[in-house]
Amino acid sequence: MLAPAVRFLPRFVSRTTFSRPVSTLSSNPRIKVFPADASRASFLLSYLEDEPPNQRLAIGFSTTDPPTPGSFVENQTFSKILYEVLSEHAHKDKDLLAQAQAFAGPGGATLGSGGAFFSQKNKNRSNKVGGGGGAGGASAQGGAGGGGHGGYVHLSDSRNPPDFGRIAWPEDILGSIEVDQSGSIIGKLEPSGTYRIITNEGILGLSPFLAEKLVERLRAEDKKDKS
């Protein structure tokens, strides 16, 4: 008597793809950290999460994680893109618009988060006066409550917000934008020339609106690089 034939069915093994979680900076979770080389002797910082990272669009490189002012090397291509984005979108940022409106309000010149207002003739002084620790005052201000003249408001990094009515430190000021006596923004952001991407207080703190606009531009650049 023949033994019944045994049919062997193929076994389908479920394969699960595991992806390595991308490391982020604790001080700024939007910024991703990648090994810059196989030895892990240096690190690449990026707003984009794709692997391998696009080095052309990196914020910069660091020999330590987390980065420090002494270990960080800025990527000039990224800095150029950053200021192009700020020039295009900073005047639409709600925080900067609120500061501009405060410019025309009672008391005219004090503001709570971005620095202080400067009359046009005193704008250049903003780069010479500190303020995150209270060193910079709000004495050189214009505006409806400060003489009824136009002036400038600063766009400052959020890593080290100045005290109320004070001026951010020069290394924290991304740029300035002109405001008329009614609190309306005129034109686009002018780079400060003193801003540093990383300081002892942190690294590149933009508002959610501006950070998203920056990421959109970086993704567009990355897509062009891959096409």
Mean pLDDT of all residues in 170-196: 95
Closest CA to 154 of 95, 78, 108, 82: 95
pLDDT tier at 117 (50, 70, 90 boundaries)?
A: low
pLDDT for 146 equals 45
Answer with the residue of higher pLDDT: 163 or 66: 66
pLDDT for 132 equals 38
Q: Mapped to the 3 state alphabet, what secondary structure does the chain carry?
A: CCCCCCCCCCCCCCCCCCCCCCEEECCEEEEEEEECCCCCCCEEEECCCCCCCCHHHCCEEECCCCCCCCCEEECHHHHHHHHHHHHHHHHHCHHHHHHHHHHCCCCCCCCCCCCCCEEHHHHHHHHHCCCCCCCCCCCCCCEHHHCCECEEEEEECCCCCCCCCCCCCHHHEEEEEEECCCCCEEEEEEECCCCCCEECCEECCCCHHHHHHHHHHHHHHHHHHHC
pLDDT tier at 185 (50, 70, 90 boundaries)?
A: very high
Q: Do 202 and 160 touch, CB atoms closer than 8 A?
A: yes
pTM for this prediction: 0.77
* Listed range (19-33, 64-78, 96-110) with the worst mean pLDDT: 96-110
Mean pLDDT of all residues in 198-211: 98
**C-alpha span between 156 and 4 (Å, rounded):** 81
8-22, 128-142, 153-167, 211-225: range with highest mean pLDDT: 211-225
Sequence letter at residue 56: R
Closest CA to 70 of 195, 159, 198: 198
Answer with the residue of higher pLDDT: 73 or 117: 73
* pLDDT tens readout for residues 153-170: 999 999 999 887 789 999
* pLDDT tens readout for residues 30-58: 999 999 887 778 999 999 999 999 999 99
Cα separations in angstroms, 30 against 54, 201, 204, 207: 16, 16, 10, 11
**C-alpha span between 64 and 181 (Å, rounded):** 47
